[in-house]
């Protein structure tokens, strides 16, 4: 028998210490928020909205990002564009290159030029979109691979445009449940930065995807957190993570527990008012990756 001591078995189950990565985000104060059209199943113009409450809830998210040490840029809200608060749809940026959005529905199409102008003014290498795409709502960076959602909003052809612009592998994932019409409502990236080759922490709702896509996700992310339909249906996955702090809806109680078990630190922010427009935490947050030119 060896005389060497072995670590007590309890330490084996301890979750790893997670490290926060500094983030830069773009947000838009919901000064003109309301629901006066329906372009996703969550939106019902007959239900009253409260713009002041939307602003107050949004402010809590903004303040929390600053408290966590992140930087937040703001784009001016345009009157007549109540969905502009969902800045995730305003583009997709990696390494200082900004790929502009081209919205599927006419109600949001006027937002496109406003985001593109903002990227230009800020000095990003800005690319005008040829194809219909709703930015980071459908495109998520996982390590050095781009996960791209199709089925409801962004077109198949936008994935070729992504490959041309960013020269990276693009993995197409098909969304099949109309409640989860953007990729960021069905899948969350928990580790925005990882060592080359390391598995990226992700969480997703399996049955929001078709079988082909579920198989791809299972193969690429064998250790992913699989969330329940209950947590998915309250937009639990529509969350923002810096690699340690994960900002989620207070209604996603199961997901909160799963995150803690993995060593992440959940922070609860209630955006119930913005959920009336079919959006949550991630929808209100666009990652600004890379320096301006
Ligand atoms: N009402 C907006 C729309 O239907 C909500 C967008 C939510 N954004 C998101 N990234 N999932 O376009």
Q: Is 32 in the active site?
A: no
293 pLDDT exceeds 80?
no
> Would you say residue 11 lies in a domain?
no
- Whether 292 is in a domain gets the answer no
**Are residues 103 and 132 in contact, defined by beta-carbon separation less than 8 angstroms?**
yes
Q: Show Cβ contacts of residue 225 under 8 Å, excluding neighbours closer than 6 positions.
A: 190, 201, 202, 203, 204, 255, 258, 259, 262
Contacts of 12 (CB under 8 A, 6+ apart): none
Residue with tokens 């390391």: 198
Q: What percent of the chain has pLDDT over 90?
A: 93
For the chain, what is the mean pLDDT? 95
CB 165 within 8 A of CB 127: yes
Helix (H) or strand (E) holding 64: helix 51-67
Tell me the CA distances in angstroms from 133 to 110, 142, 201, 228, one per residue in order: 14, 18, 25, 28
Count of domains observed in the chain: 1
Per-residue confidence (pLDDT) for residue 14, from 0 to 100: 75
Task: Quickly count: other Cβ atoms within 10 Å of residue 170's Cβ.
Answer: 16
* 247-255 mean pLDDT: 98
Nearest CA to ligand 1 atom 7: 279
Task: Give the whole-angstrom CA distance, residue 174 versus residue 151.
Answer: 6
- Residue 6: predicted pLDDT: 47
Choose which residue among 182, 238, 282 to substitute to test ligand 1 binding: the one with the highest number of ligand atoms within 8 A of its C-beta. 182
Residue 127 three-state SS: strand
Is residue 3 one of the residues assigned to a domain? no
For ligand 1, the distance from its centroid to the CA atom of residue 219, given in whole angstroms, is 28
Q: Is residue 88, in this structure, part of any structural domain at all?
A: yes
Would you say residue 1 has pLDDT above 50? Answer: no
pLDDT, tens only, 9-22: 444 467 889 999 99
Question: Which domain CATH number covers 117?
Answer: 3.75.10.10
Residues 38-59: what's their mean pLDDT?
A: 98
Q: Which of 28, 182, 267, 284 is catalytic?
A: 182
Distance (angstroms) between ligand 1 centre and the Cα of 165 equals: 24
Q: Which of 111, 181, 271, 283 to mutate to test the pocket of ligand 1 (most atoms within 8 A of CB)?
A: 283
- Collapse the DSSP code of 154 into the 3-class scheme (helix H, G, I; strand E, B; otherwise coil) and give the result: coil
pLDDT above 60 for 67 = yes
Q: What residues make up the domain containing 198?
A: 19-287
Whether 4 maps to a domain, the answer reads no
pLDDT score recorded for residue 207? 98
Q: Has residue 156 got a pLDDT over 80?
A: yes
C-alpha span between 170 and 147 (Å, rounded): 6
What's the rounded mean pLDDT across residues 108-136? 98
* Within-domain flag for 293: no
pLDDT digits (tens, 9 = 90+) for 123-155: 999 999 999 999 999 999 999 999 999 999 999
- Residue ranges lining ligand 1, Cβ < 6 Å: 39-40, 43, 83, 86, 88-89, 108, 137, 182, 184-185, 277-279, 283
Q: Is residue 44 part of a domain?
A: yes
What's the mean pLDDT in 16-34? 97
pTM over 0.85: yes
Position 3 scores a pLDDT of: 44
Per residue in 225-240, pLDDT (tens digit) is: 999 999 999 999 999 9
Give pLDDT, residue 56: 98
Catalytic residue among 28, 70, 267, 283: 283
Which residues lie closer than 8 Å to 152 by C-beta, 6 or more apart? 104, 175, 178, 181, 182
CA of 89 to the centre of ligand 1 (A): 7
Question: What are the structure tokens assigned to 164, written together?
Answer: 């041309």
Distances (CA, A) of 210 to 172, 176, 264: 11, 6, 28
Alpha carbon distance 213, 231 (integer Å): 20
Residue 51 domain-assigned? yes
User: Is 182 known to be catalytic?
Assistant: yes
Ligand 1 atom with minimal separation from the 39 CA: 4
């Amino acid at each position: 028998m060896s005389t060497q001591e072995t670590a007590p078995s309890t330490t084996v189950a301890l979750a790893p210490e997670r490290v926060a990565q500094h983030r830069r985000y773009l947000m838009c104060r919901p000064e003109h928020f309301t629901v006066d059209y329906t372009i996703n199943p969550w939106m019902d113009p007959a239900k009253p909205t409260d713009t002041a409450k939307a602003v107050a809830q949004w402010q809590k998210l903004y303040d929390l990002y600053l408290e966590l040490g992140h930087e937040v840029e703001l784009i001016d809200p345009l009157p007549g564009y109540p969905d502009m608060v969902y800045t995730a749809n305003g583009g997709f940026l990696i390494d200082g290159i900004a790929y502009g959005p081209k919205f599927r529905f006419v109600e949001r199409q006027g937002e496109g030029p406003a985001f593109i102008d903002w990227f230009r003014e800020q000095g990003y290498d800005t690319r005008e979109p040829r194809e219909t795409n709703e930015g980071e709502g459908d495109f998520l960076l996982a390590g050095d691979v781009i996960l791209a959602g199709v089925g409801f909003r962004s077109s198949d052809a936008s994935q070729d445009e992504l490959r041309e612009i960013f020269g990276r592998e693009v993995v197409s994932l098909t969304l099949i449940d109309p409640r989860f019409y953007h990729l960021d409502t069905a899948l969350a990236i928990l580790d925005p930065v990882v060592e080359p080759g390391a598995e990226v922490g992700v969480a997703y709702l399996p049955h929001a995807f078709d079988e082909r896509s579920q198989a791809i996700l299972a193969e690429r992310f064998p250790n992913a957190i699989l969330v329940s339909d209950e947590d998915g249906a309250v937009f639990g996955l529509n969350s923002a993570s810096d690699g340690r702090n994960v900002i989620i809806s207070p209604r996603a109680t199961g997901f909160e527990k799963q995150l803690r078990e993995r060593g992440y630190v959940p922070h609860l922010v209630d955006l119930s008012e913005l959920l009336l427009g079919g959006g949550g935490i991630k929808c209100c947050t666009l990652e600004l990756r890379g320096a301006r030119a």
